[in-house]
């Protein structure tokens, strides 16, 4: 009699002997697909890559484990592209053990803050341009709304910026006016 050779155990598919996604046999929860698990791992790696790009001051404000913090610090020292890719994979693996939600919220707050600063910057530029174009009613309303603004200095900077614009000179006073507005009107206090 001839014994047929024994096939090696199947690792994937319906005949798999090793369950990569164990669950209780009596559980009604559906199994997580490999595609979904992979997408979650890639999302954690992308989150880790964003953490690596952050400056140290912002990174220090985010609550995370010491192991994750060390992995990110090490990734910042790597110059080889392939080594960095592997380190980011490691960061993703470390993040699987932690809750990524607080880290994601902190990154969203940082992104929102940067977008808010950009909006504030654009509003200040528009104010400066309107003042230089001759909107004196705006000047008076700004001084009334923001007591930190000195009416005399604001008028002087605006007049100098108008003279430079009319003489087609470089916008030195225009920049000074913008800096003064930025100093006196903090972000979030401009309607």
> In order of start, what are the domains of the chain with their CATH numbers?
34-98 (1.10.60.30), 115-184 (1.10.60.30)
| Cα angle 44, 45, 46; round to 5 | 90
Q: What is the pLDDT of residue 106?
A: 86
Bridge partners of 16, per DSSP, are 10
- Given a cut of 70, the residues of the chain with pLDDT beneath it are 1-30, 188-191
The reported pTM is 0.50
Bridge partners of 10, per DSSP, are 16
Which residue bears the tokens 């598919």?
A: 13
Q: What is the pLDDT of residue 117?
A: 80
> For residues 159 and 124, what is the distance between their CA atoms, to the nearest angstrom?
17
Return the structure tokens found at 97.
């053990």
Q: What is the pLDDT of residue 190?
A: 66
Q: What is the pLDDT of residue 191?
A: 60
Q: What is the pLDDT of residue 85?
A: 93
Q: What is the pLDDT of residue 184?
A: 85
Percentage of residues of the chain with pLDDT beyond 70: 82
Q: What is the pLDDT of residue 89?
A: 92
Which residue bears the tokens 């705006």?
A: 138
Q: What is the pLDDT of residue 20?
A: 52
């Amino acid at each position: 009699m001839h014994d047929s050779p024994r096939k090696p155990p199947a690792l994937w598919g319906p005949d798999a002997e090793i369950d990569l996604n164990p669950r209780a046999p009596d559980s009604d929860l559906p199994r997580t697909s490999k595609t979904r698990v992979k997408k979650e791992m890639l999302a954690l790696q992308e989150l880790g890559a964003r953490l690596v790009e952050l400056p140290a001051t912002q990174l220090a404000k985010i609550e995370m484990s010491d192991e994750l913090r060390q992995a990110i610090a090490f990734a910042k020292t790597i110059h080889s592209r392939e080594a960095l890719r592997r380190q980011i994979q490691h960061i993703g693996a470390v993040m699987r053990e932690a809750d990524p939600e607080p880290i994601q919220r902190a990154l969203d707050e940082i992104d929102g803050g940067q977008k808010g600063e950009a909006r504030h910057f654009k509003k200040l530029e528009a104010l400066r341009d309107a003042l230089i174009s001759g909107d004196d009613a705006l000047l008076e309303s700004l001084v009334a709304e923001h007591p930190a603004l000195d009416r005399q200095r604001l008028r002087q900077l605006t007049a100098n910026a108008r003279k430079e614009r009319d003489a087609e000179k470089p916008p030195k006073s225009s920049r000074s006016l913008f800096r003064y507005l930025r100093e006196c009107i903090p972000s979030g206090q401009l309607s």
